[in-house]
Amino acid sequence: MNEKESKSPSNFIRSIIEEDLRTGRWEGRVHTRFPPEPNGFLHIGHAKSICLNFGIAADYNGLCNLRFDDTNPLKEEQTYIDAIMEDVRWLGFDWGDRLYYASDYFEQLYEYALKLIRDGKAYVDDLSAEQIRQYRGTLKEPGRESPYRNRSVEENLDLFERMRAGEFEEGSKVLRARIDMAAPNLNLRDPVMYRVLYATHPRTGDRWCIYPTYDFTHGQSDSIEGITHSLCTLEFEDHRPLYDWFLDNLEIYHPRQIEFARLNLTRTVMSKRKLLRLVEEGHVSGWDDPRMPTLSGLRRRGYTPESIRNFCERIGISKKDSTVDIAFLEHCVREDLNRRAPRVMAVLRPLRVVLENYPEDRVEELEAVNNPEDEAMGTRKVPFSKVLYIERDDFMEEPPKKFYRLAPGREVRLRYAYYVKCNDVIKDENTGQVVELRCTYDPETRGGWAPDGRKVKATLHWVSARHALSAEVRLYDHLFASDHPEEAADGTDFGSVLNPDSLETLTDCKLEPSLESAKPGDRLQFERLGYFCVDPLDSRPGRLVFNRTVTLRDTWAKIRKAGKK
């Protein structure tokens, strides 16, 4: 990470850490962790947590672990573990040799459970999951104690060991903490610590048939790793008293938990459960579909890691839930690509233009600027010849008032080239569709300027027909039509909130020949159209496929302006 990025703006978590460093609470240590559950791909919300945890470690001379919270073998897979590691690295972070798995602590957690049983603080319960729910009570009513709550320590030890040995059926027994069935905080009403589950775990295989719950794992894992500041999202605020109870009663090292608001984005669902549904129901092509808010989807869409880190920094960290406009995320990538993406000319919906007065075999190599924002990026040559393609949208036979582009009898500038004038329109006899424009060029206007000072109102991009490369271009838009799809998507059907136009595939696009050397993942600006990247999966020599990252229209700038008024 470069110097400029290295210190992030302050926030309440950084203030707490600085205070802890001042008072020497952790002997000057700062040790954080990013703890994903490998039950799906990482999304942009996780990026916020990754940037926070790794960013803090970097800024305070600390360490940050990557830890997989892999306590639910029913939902977890090695593919997810691999994808998560790839995504964290891609974002630009490094956990060094500190890669951990909660499953590495299963034996230790089992010992912890035995200690609580011996101390009379945990018991084996025979109630069913449904009964446990019923006995739990509500926010207004206290819960009821299980009839098995007062089993002797010996009986509990025996039963728990036999649970581990595989003597009991799934769902027939659980281990619960013996806390308080009348506690106002429902998490403290004798929460389940272990359940029987005959499932193969991606890492421990069939070694275990009892698995600790997330609540009995998370805090102790942080403790085992010597984490100083356990940063987690707000929904864990209510779990903190329980984590405290476990750590205090186990009498082990006790990290400090601090909660912050999770990231929500408009037009986006973020929970992995819903993202998995989008994949399984075939609304997208996979976790890495460029419309997905996953890091792999954003990467394939053309987002840079820098733009995502910058976004995470600028949205800040707070204690209050809010929803960020997705236009701001798009603004961040546009800003980044504006600085570094080379400009090229590409025609997405080609219309043939023949320059009647241009010599048949002549080819001119015209000089084009690679990036007006960065002179160092230099120039390139673009071939110009008698037959060209322009964008279908840039011509209208009967233009309305505010249409300044090409029309019969009208003159426009072709970028880096000449003024051209449309004299004639050729149509398909059967369909009436315009298939070709007959134009003349003015040889005096080479470079795009008229010596007599006459002005034109539009500058169009173009591609020389005989030099053009063909490509497929995928125009992506928001996956959801609704600004707040989360609630609607809670129902059984995404159908009502999905944007039916989130993907348009154009198969007959024409590109300037310099793109011959474009490599998978390359990011470019197609002049006047937007930012695009070479699809890393489907593009190969002889078949160019581009994904649109964003258009050039910065809706965020508009929203921000409106807000200031």
Q: Is residue 450 close enough to count as binding ligand ATP by CB under 6 A?
A: no
Residue 219 engages ligand ATP in binding (rule: CB under 6 A): no
Residue 276's binding partner among Mg ion, ligand ATP, none (Cβ under 5 to 8 angstroms by kind) is none
233 is a site residue for ligand ATP (CB under 6 A): yes
Part in contact with ligand ATP (CB under 6 A); list of ranges 263-271, 296-304, 406-414, 443-451: 263-271
272 interacts with, out of ligand ATP, Mg ion, none, CB within 5 to 8 A per kind:
ligand ATP
Picked from ligand ATP, Mg ion, none, the partner binding residue 35 (CB below 5 to 8 A depending on kind) is: ligand ATP
Among 20, 31, 36, 419, binds ligand ATP (CB under 6 A): 36
Question: Which whole-number Å values give the CA distances from 95 to 35, 39, 66, 88, 407, in the listed order?
Answer: 12, 20, 6, 9, 59
Dist CA 354 CA 444 (whole Å):
18
Tell me whether residue 42 or residue 533 sits nearer to Mg ion (CB atom): 42
Number of amino acids touching Mg ion (CB under 5 A) = 1
Judged by CB under 6 A, the number of residues near ligand ATP is 14
CB-nearer residue toward ligand ATP: 33 or 173: 33
| Position of minimal CB gap to Mg ion | 37
Clarify whether 335 is annotated catalytic.
no
Residue 263 interacting with ligand ATP (CB under 6 A):
yes
Alpha-carbon span 101 to 79, nearest angstrom: 15
Q: Residue from 14, 31, 46, 299 that binds ligand ATP (CB under 6 A)?
A: 46
323 binds ligand ATP (CB under 6 A): no
Identify whether 14 is a catalytic site residue.
Answer: no
Q: Which does 510 bind (CB under 5 to 8 A by kind): Mg ion, ligand ATP, none?
A: none
Residues in the chain: 565
- Residues 260, 239: Cα–Cα separation, whole Å: 14
Provide the residue type at 261 as one letter. Answer: A
Q: Give the chain's end-to-end CA distance (angstroms, integer).
A: 37
Torsion of the alpha carbons at 130, 132, 135 and 137, rounded to the nearest 10 = -90
Spatial separation of the C-alpha atoms in residues 506 and 83, rounded to whole Å: 30
CB of 220 to ligand ATP, least distance (A): 16
Q: Please pick, from the candidates 13, 17, 21, 45, the single residue that binds ligand ATP as defined by CB under 6 A.
A: 45
Q: Rounded to the nearest whole angstrom, what is the least distance from the CB of residue 236 to ligand ATP in the complex?
A: 7
Find tokens 């320590």 and name the residue: 153
- Binding track over 71-110 against ligand ATP, x by CB under 6 A: ----------------------------------------
Element (H, E) at 421: strand 419-427
Q: Which of 270, 276, 465, 552 binds ligand ATP (CB under 6 A)?
A: 270
Active site annotation includes 140: no
Query: Interaction with Mg ion in 27-86: which residues (CB under 5 A)?
Result: 37
Which of the following is catalytic: 75, 144, 203, 262? Answer: 262
Active-site residue among 14, 37, 267, 523? 37
Q: Which is nearer to ligand ATP, 37 or 306 (CB)?
A: 37
Task: Tell me whether residue 11 or residue 551 sits nearer to ligand ATP (CB atom).
Answer: 11
Closest residue by Cα to residue 249 from 165, 188, 182, 328: 188
Nearer residue to ligand ATP within complex by CB, 45 or 219: 45
d(CA 172, CA 196): 8
Query: In sequence order, which residues have a C-beta less than 8 Å from that of residue 193 and are 6 or more positions away?
Result: 113, 116, 122, 174, 175, 176, 177, 212, 213, 215, 216
- What DSSP letter does each residue of 469-533 carry, written as one string? EEEEEEEE--SBSSS-HHHHTTSS-STTTB-TTSEEEEEEEEE-GGGGG--TT-EEEETTTEEEE
Among 210, 232, 250, 463, binds ligand ATP (CB under 6 A): 232
Residue 485 lies near ligand ATP (rule: CB under 6 A): no
Cβ atoms 190, 176 nearer than 8 A: yes
C-alpha distances (whole Å) from 108 to each of 112, 115, 124, 220, 447 are 6, 11, 19, 9, 74
Q: Closer CB to Mg ion, residue 46 or residue 548?
A: 46
State how far the Cα of 68 lies from the Cα of 74, in Å rounded to an integer. Answer: 15
Residue 309 sits at φ, ψ, to 5 deg, of -65, -40
| Nearest CB to ligand ATP, comparing residues 87 and 535 | 87
Residues that bind ligand ATP (CB under 6 A): 35-37, 45-46, 48-49, 232-233, 262-263, 270-272
Please list the active-site residues. 37, 262, 272
